[in-house]
Amino acid sequence: MKKINFIGVLLLLMLIVSACGEKAEGTDDVIELKLGTKMPQDTAEGKGFDIFADLVKEKSGGKLIVKVYPAEQLGKGTTQVDNMLLGTQDMYAEGATYFSDFDPRIEVSSVPFLFRDFDHYQKFNTGEIGQEINEKLISEGVRILNTDRNFIRGPYRVLLTKEPVKTVEDLKGLKLRSFESAFYSAAYSSVGAKPVVVAWTETYLGLKQNLVDGVTSPISLVWPMKFTEVAQNMTVIDEYPQDVVITMNEDRFSKLSEQNQKILIEAANEAGEEATKITLSEVEKHLELMKEEHDIEVFEINRADWTEAFSDYHYQLEEEGKIPEGFVDRIKSIE
């Protein structure tokens, strides 16, 4: 009887020691998270991701580390999204359209001339519609960390072409570089352009080899990507507002402590604000460099004309059942 009690006490002590050991190990462990992106490190966005990593490290006292892999080191965009869902990488930072397979309403963010400006777009993302989309993404395993949606890409978009484009009519027959978005490609096809899907990192070569005649881009990325070396005509179209989302595998996120979850969200929102400041400060400098070194010509558009030209396509999306009926008017009614 005494022997049994002794063994029981011994087992109890072993469990206590083991539990204490696990607690101590959890406290001391450094958690490393892998963040992939397609943007080069020396761009405004690349700097923003480094700021995010620095903030996470600072706020966690070095217990939470984000390792950034820029310039598609972890693969093309869709590959990285798949990697994140599989858990082989923890995070991916890019435009929200990469997640439109989970909710087609996301795709409207890249529909040309649907949103009035960035403020309109931000209200869409942080308001009722945006929350519905976020819940859907979470159910599919994707968490958007920068909940303020303040990581502005741009701050506006331009079209770089070999021949001047001043009106919507000038788009007819233009081989335009497109990303992997059926909505985006179809929108430009509706006004006579010929979209060609080309990887972002291969676009410069595509322009140089005449695979495409033009590319749309956030103004902040034109100089780093050297597009004006091979396309000296710039049309300020600001076709749609853009932001960058820092996303994370939901299962990985849910297993972190509440404190670490809060750190990631706070750091992502703060990084978005800082990256936007960097973007704004660099744009004017880049424009001067492009004018001096590449002798670019800059054209403005009549926005009302372009909006009207694309408006039929907006409602066509509803007619084809690609977005819910009434969704376009719901977006346009956001104040």
Q: Is residue 15 part of a domain?
A: no
Single pTM value for the model: 0.84
Q: Is residue 291 part of a domain?
A: yes
Other beta carbons within 10 Å of 208:
13
d(CA 249, CA 142): 5
Same domain (yes/no): 170, 278? no
Same domain (yes/no): 53, 186? no
Residue 16 in this model has a pLDDT that exceeds 80: no
Same domain (yes/no): 109, 172? no
Same domain (yes/no): 111, 163? no
Q: How many domains does the chain have?
A: 2
Same domain (yes/no): 106, 143? yes
Q: Is residue 212 part of a domain?
A: yes
d(CA 185, CA 11): 66
CA 297 distance to own-chain centroid: 29
Find all residues with CB under 8 Å of 52, minimum gap 6, and list them: 35, 66, 68, 246, 267, 268, 271
Same domain (yes/no): 130, 148? yes
Q: Which two tokens stand for residue 278?
A: 């960097």
**What percentage of the chain exceeds 90 in pLDDT?**
84
Q: Which amino acid is present at 272?
A: G
Same domain (yes/no): 226, 246? no
Q: Is residue 72 part of a domain?
A: yes
pLDDT digits 0-9 by tens, 40-99: 898 889 999 999 999 999 999 999 999 999 999 999 999 999 999 999 999 999 999 899
Mean pLDDT of 279-297: 94
Same domain (yes/no): 249, 235? no
Q: Which amino acid is present at 109?
A: S
The pLDDT confidence band at residue 28, using thresholds 50, 70 and 90, is confident
Residue 2 in this model has a pLDDT that exceeds 80: no
What is the residue whose two structure tokens read 């590959």? Answer: 79
Determine the structural domain holding residue 76 and report its residue range: 29-153+242-282
Residue 223 in this model has a pLDDT that exceeds 80: yes
User: Omega of the bond prior to 70 within 30 degrees of 0, cis?
Assistant: no
The pLDDT confidence band at residue 6, using thresholds 50, 70 and 90, is very low
Q: Which residues pair with 297 in a beta bridge?
A: 233
Q: Is residue 10 part of a domain?
A: no
Q: Which amino acid is present at 124?
A: F
Closest Cα partner for 239 from 221, 215, 204, 222? 215
CATH code (residue 315): 3.40.190.170
